[in-house]
Amino acid sequence: MPELKLTSQAKDFSKWYNQIILRAELADYAPVRGCMVIRPYGYALWENIQQALDRRFKSVGVENAYFPLFIPKSFLEREKEHVEGFSPELAVVTVGGGEVLEEPLVVRPTSETIVGQMWANWIKSYRDLPMRLNLWNSVVRWELRTRLFLRTLEFLWNEGHCAYATSGEAEAETLQMLDVYTDFAVSDAALPVIPGRKSDLERFAGAVRSYTIEAMMGDKKALQSGTSHFLGQNFARAFDMKYLDRNNELQYCWTTSWGLSTRMIGGIIMVHGDDQGLKLPPRLAPIQLVVVPIYKTDEEKSKVTAAVERIRAMLENEVRFKIDDREEVSPGYKFNDWEMRGVPLRMEVGPKDVEKDQVVLARRDAPGRGGKSIAPQAGLLHAVHELLDTIQADLYRAAVAFRDANVHEPASYDEFKAVVADGFARVWWAGSDEDELKVKEETKATIRCIPMDQPGGEGKCFYTGQPAKETAIFARAY
């Protein structure tokens, strides 16, 4: 039997995080350094994330496509800032079929360049615009320090790519997709994220402006959870992506890109998890409800099994559920096992419950007697749905309360240093790139974002003392 007890978050958050992934069978280390194998339970969670996002993408008119894994190295060199940003992370193929390649091929780190090349062929007229595509794929970035889900050499994600006739349309779409990611994070992942603009130092290589959703993890560090980029005409000029406008004049397109990856799974683990294991939001949980039959004798088993079969018929196609009929482990072990795996709701069915036509329901997010309730078998489906909705909302409320309690507004640099050692700092900011780098060197904190939600008015920059018109969120980050 696998070990269920975890290192406590307070003792060693990093060790707790790694243990939970391995023991809940979300993923495992691959034979290749820095890579991971996503196991069925973890992949089912990713599939639910995919489906939730895919519905949103298609509802705003985005279509799915697929582009090759290999990109000619020369493509990346056409956009100067892009190649400089990605060069240290590139995996390059120089030999194929036993022969040295005429041109090295880069294993896809992101697809702006190859998409730009193809769009230059496809887009001829304003009638071909907008072009709105999404790719579900994997990318490779040769990271030195890796961690399961958060930073691996290869990871899964969506990458959206859109081309427009005007700057205004492209900017509007960049912000629209930021809103889509925010809605998904809040509504489905129960993560309270802060949407905002990246500083120039933190923006995507090749972008004019980058936007992000930032979340606070259980150890009070930040996690960049999704990004959306306004690319201007940088890639359009690099790949000669032109169209004939209504006046029959050639114009460069305006493009965007946006992505959310399997690091979102790491975020869900670190925001909601506790010392007992995962706590998965019901809307994304691979298993929303586990049914545990409880009996001692063959006679009790017969009655309980019959009741469980009736319950199965009620739940079928309505709830993602599993009946745990393992006989080699005790009910107590099953309870702990499914708690560790983060299943939102547990249903216990014993002989006395069968006699009373009822079940016991236990919430993962509310341990002990406080999280238990009795529900009649008549109307059981309604009770289950109601509890799952309550759990979803309560997980979000708890995460908001934790974040808000750990976002501070230091008045001085000395106060700031203490705050970012164990939380987020929201401060007035008017510093230069050089100032930002000095803060990072001295505190290990970076500008996570300049929030879209600003207080208005003017304040004094906490670092330079100069008048500032915007506040920024600083934090240490993954």
List pLDDT tens digits, range 386-402.
999 999 999 999 999 99
Which pTM does this prediction carry?
0.96
Q: In the predicted model, is pLDDT for residue 2 greater than 80?
A: no
**What is the reported pLDDT for 5?**
86
pLDDT score for 82 = 75
3-state secondary structure 66-88: CCCCEEEHHHHHCCHHHHHHHHH
d(CA 55, CA 66): 18
Residue 1, pLDDT > 60, answer: no
Residue 149's Cβ-count burial label (10 Å; 0-12, 13-18, 19+) is: buried
**Percentage of the chain surpassing pLDDT 90?**
95
pLDDT for residue 447: 98
Confidence of residue 374 (pLDDT cuts 50, 70, 90): very high
Q: Summarize the confidence of residues 443-464 as an average pLDDT.
A: 97
Q: Using one digit for the tens of pLDDT, what is the confidence trace for 15-64?
A: 999 999 999 999 999 999 999 999 999 999 999 999 999 999 999 999 99
pLDDT of residue 88: 86
pLDDT for 135: 98
What is 57-68 written as a DSSP string?
Answer: HHHTT-EEE---
Q: Phi first, then psi: what are they for 332, rounded to 5°?
A: -60, -40
Domain borders along the chain are: 13-272, 289-391, 407-475
Each residue of 419-432: pLDDT tens digit? 999 999 999 999 99
pLDDT digits (tens, 9 = 90+) for 261-304: 999 999 999 999 999 999 999 999 999 999 999 999 999 999 99
Q: Which CATH number describes the domain made up of 407-475?
A: 3.30.110.30
- CATH code: domain 13-272 is 3.30.930.10
What average pLDDT score do residues 124-132 get?
Answer: 98
Burial status of residue 116 (CB atoms within 10 A of its CB: 0-12, 13-18, 19 or more): buried
Q: How high is the pLDDT of residue 331?
A: 96
Decide if pLDDT at 3 tops 80: no
| Top-level class of domain 289-391 | alpha beta
Give the range among 2-6, 188-192, 336-340 with minimum mean pLDDT: 2-6
| 86, pLDDT greater than 90 | no
pLDDT at 53: 98
Torsion of CA 474, 90, 205, 463, to 10 degrees: 30
- Say if residues 374 and 319 touch (Cβ distance below 8 Å): no
Averaged pLDDT of the chain: 96
